[in-house]
Amino acid sequence: MQYSLNIREVTHALSGALDFVGIDDTLHGKRVAYMAAELAKSLSYPKESVDDIIFIGMLHDCGVSSTDVHTHLVTELDWNNSQVHSIRGEALLNTTTVYKRFSPYIRYHHTHWDNLPDSLSEDEKNISNLIYLVDRVDALNAQMRESGAKSVFAIQEIIQKYSGTMFSPQLVDVFMSQSSRDSFWFYLEEEALDEYFIEWVEKGSNEEFTFEIVKEIALMFAAVVDAKSEFTSEHSLGVSTLARYLADLFELSQETCEKIELAGLFHDLGKLRVDDAILDKPSELDTDEKLIMNRHGFDSFIILRHIQGFREIAHLASLHHETLDAKGYPYNLGSSDIPMESRIITVADIFQALIQDRPYRQGLDMNEAYQILYEMCENGKLDFSIVKKLKENLQMCYEKANVKYE
């Protein structure tokens, strides 16, 4: 099937999942994109470059899945391990047709100006250093907000100090002049920033994308989610692959099968907002931790609902913890409101989770996992027709749920 999508809208929405990693400060990517674009405009960069810079800004931290890594990045000016997420980000973008051309900039967005390799073009040097500079401005601003310090002059002083070493002197100069305007900082506030991006998204237009191209983007974001914890590596990929396989066995239409596959890849986007410590906790979650954990299906919906053309996928993804007895979450829907598509994803989700190691138990073998699904059918939670289909193709389902990223 062809998908008619505004790629600005898609990227803006999905970058919200990357920003979730900041937990209660969820606009980092957007602030970086805004500041970089404004500096580029005052340097008279062509319009196409400014638009590319907005994409790069929103995606720059796609190599960060862990809340722990995120904390280092926003509390230390120059963190030793920052190359890890830059390299990971480059690799992730290289898996997609749509974002591939942004990968060199992401690779060097934490490299000092005087350390950038000669092999890079002028453009690559300038744009990656531009992202680096405004990224550090955002980190400094966050720290100072926290401490209540008077920030603008203090930030300017630090950036100026590293002119010619960490940052390009030309970029520092333009930052100094732009950041002297109050409005530069006012735009970092949520309401103004939202306006800025709504306008930018509206200026984009819809293009036709094949399922394969859309799937590459979904896979990239699934990989970001799956990298969050060693216990969930490959989870979204396995859920999606198994769900698609089951959908094909039921001979659902190709359009429905594709929807199920995409919803499977996106289903746990909301988990990026869950603190590492909760996700990796080796014992039972307490009531507060459960509340945080159990809202992730809803948060996946919050991200995806902004994408016209993904409304149904957003809905399906958000239902993956609903059960037919109306005791699931977050909506407590009953059997009459849970469509076949999400029933399939739910079965795939539970099966994949059962065969994977978790902090509190080893992965089960396929027969043990099936047994649990069967009991859940007996308790009125899962759709028996799906679990039966899984049982009839157990070995194959096990393999589908166990696939690895290439």
Question: Contact residues for Fe ion (CB under 5 A)?
Answer: 61, 135, 268
Q: Is the dihedral of CA 44, 45, 51, 57 positive or negative?
A: negative
Report the candidate in 152, 181, 172, 188 with the shortest Cα–Cα distance to residue 29.
188
- Shortest distance in whole angstroms from residue 108 CB to Fe ion: 11
215/194 Cα distance (integer angstroms): 27
- Shortest distance in whole angstroms from residue 61 CB to Fe ion: 4
Of residues 5 and 131, the one with the C-beta less far from Fe ion:
131
Residue by residue, DSSP assigns 230-250 as GGGTTHHHHHHHHHHHHHHHT
Of residues 268 and 322, the one with the C-beta less far from Fe ion:
268
- Shortest distance in whole angstroms from residue 337 CB to Fe ion: 18
Of residues 29 and 196, the one with the C-beta less far from Fe ion:
29
3-state helix, strand, coil in the chain (%, to 5): 65, 5, 30
Supply the Cα-derived Rg of the chain in whole angstroms. 22
DSSP letter for 336, please.
Answer: G
- Shortest distance in whole angstroms from residue 136 CB to Fe ion: 9
Of residues 49 and 342, the one with the C-beta less far from Fe ion:
342
Report the candidate in 202, 207, 226 with the shortest Cα–Cα distance to residue 88.
226
- Shortest distance in whole angstroms from residue 254 CB to Fe ion: 26
- Shortest distance in whole angstroms from residue 320 CB to Fe ion: 5
Of residues 29 and 168, the one with the C-beta less far from Fe ion:
29
Of residues 105 and 211, the one with the C-beta less far from Fe ion:
105
- Shortest distance in whole angstroms from residue 218 CB to Fe ion: 16
Of residues 61 and 261, the one with the C-beta less far from Fe ion:
61
Of residues 49 and 232, the one with the C-beta less far from Fe ion:
232
DSSP letter for 210, please.
Answer: E
182/153 Cα distance (integer angstroms): 12
- Shortest distance in whole angstroms from residue 100 CB to Fe ion: 19
- Shortest distance in whole angstroms from residue 267 CB to Fe ion: 6
267 near 317, Cβ under 8 Å?
A: yes
| β-bridge pairing 206-210 and 2-6 | antiparallel
Report the candidate in 313, 302, 297, 300 with the shortest Cα–Cα distance to residue 214.
313
Q: By three-state DSSP, how is residue 330 classified?
A: coil
254 near 223, Cβ under 8 Å?
A: no
CA torsion, points 348, 221, 214, 260, in degrees to nearest 10? 20
138/155 Cα distance (integer angstroms): 9
